[in-house]
Structures are given as C-alpha cells and as structure tokens.
Amino acid sequence: MVTAMVTGGTSGIGAAFARALANRGDDLVIVARDATRLGETAESLRKEYGIAVETISADLSDRDDVLRVAARLEDTSAPIDTLVNNAGFGVHTSLLAADTTPHEKALDVMVRAVLMLGAAAGRTMRARGSGTIVNVSSVAGFITMGSYSAVKAWVASYSQGLAVELAGSGVQVTTLCPGWVKTEFHSRAGIRESSIPGFLWVDVDELVAACLADVAKGKVMSVPSRRFKFLMFVIKHAPRSGIRWASGRISSSRND
C-alpha cells in the first residue's frame, strides 16, 4: 500500500496532485485549512478512484498545527511514501508596507512549514530507505517580484540542499517550478489573467503529470513545458538588471 500526503490538496496544483496520485492507486492524506472543503474533496476522491483518503485540517501558519502534520509524517505504523509540500498563496503586499503581516504569514506557510515537514518526512523516509518529497517552488523564485519571489527562491535552494543531504538514502527530492498555471491562484493573488499572453498558460493536470514523470526520472528540478524551460534558460543567463526590469513589468499586471 502506497500513501501520499499533499498539503493544500483541495485546490489548484495540490488538488491536481491529489487526483494524479489517486489515479495511479495511491492512498492519500490531504492537508488544508477548510474542514468542510477537505471532507468534500476526500469523499469525491474516494468515490472516483476507490482509494482511502485521510484528512488533516491544519493552518500551516500555526506552528502547533505544523507539528501535528509532522507527527503524521513520522508515524511509522502508517508510513507516508510521498510528501507534496504544496500549500501556499500569492503575496500582493509591498515590501515597504507598514503592516508586514502578509509577508510573515508567507514565511510561516511557505518556508517554516516546508522546512519542518520536509525534515520530518526526510528523517522518516531515510530511516525506511525510500520515499519521495516534492516541494513546490515557482519560476517566480528566479526573478524579483517581492517577498513571493524571495520565498520561492528559498524553496528552490532548500530543496536542492535537502536532495544533497538525502543523496544515496533512497529518498528522492524534486523541486517543482511552475510558471503560469490555470488555477484560481492568480485571481486570489490579485493578478489579472488577461494581462498574461495565452501561450504562457500551462494546464494544471499536464503540469503535475510532467512533474511526476520528472520524479520518476530522478530529477532534482522539474520545470514543466518547453516554453518555461526556455524562460528559465533566459533568466539564468540574462543580466540581473534585465531581470529586475522584467520583474517590474510583470508586477504591473497585478490589481491595485
């Protein structure tokens, strides 16, 4: 029996991971804040795929809640074979804002929780000699769009460091770096979808399928779609002044 945990598993990329993993026969542990939506999602997955689905209602900005989720990852009586560290949200707040609460919450959910859950999963999987950890970063982590870029840059760097520490242990670590993906994420982040060229959008189920294929190949970094692989090449080789200019142009697509 194979079991996967997905944080933020009731919407967007997380929900697509849940569907893809369920479709291949994995049982699931889904983590999200909204207990009602968790229950609805779990029941839908059980009916459609005939798998077991466990739910954990947790706010990953709350350290005690993160510890509860970490304890589930460390439970050797019901092992988790795959962790998808996906929970997150866009940050629209200026770095100059007097109220830094949105940035602090982003660090709690997308840095501290990723670190704590990755550590719990990594330790437990290493002791067992097998496992997979997928940490969702972003192409935005390689440009300079406020604290969201900074957070996702940390995730990408952390994941590679975790892969180094777990090398040879039987535990695979992959960083997923999506670009613009068709989910509700961008509207929640205050980004006008119409301002982004249509050819740049990636289907969420195709994104997840490509990521899981990269995991199977043992890749440490997954950048689905040729267009975003090309974009990453440009970002890595362009002058940083050009990246800052482009980041400013992209940021202007956000709603005021």
The closest of 84, 111, 117 to 15, measured between CA atoms, is: 84
Amino acid at site 126: R
What are 236's two structure tokens?
């890595």
Q: Cα 28 to chain center, whole Å?
A: 16
Q: Cα 136 to chain center, whole Å?
A: 3
* Dist. CA 255–CA 190, nearest whole Å: 5
Q: How far apart are the first and last CA of the chain?
A: 49
Active-site residue, from 17, 49, 148, 158: 148
Does residue 173 contact residue 137 with C-beta atoms inside 8 Å?
no
Q: Give the number of residues written for the chain.
A: 256
* Dist. CA 133–CA 166, nearest whole Å: 11
Note if 158 is an active site residue. no
Percent helix, percent strand, percent coil in the chain, to nearest 5: 55, 15, 30
Compute the half-sphere exposure of residue 56: CA atoms within 13 Å on the CB side of its CA.
21
State the catalytic residues. Answer: 148
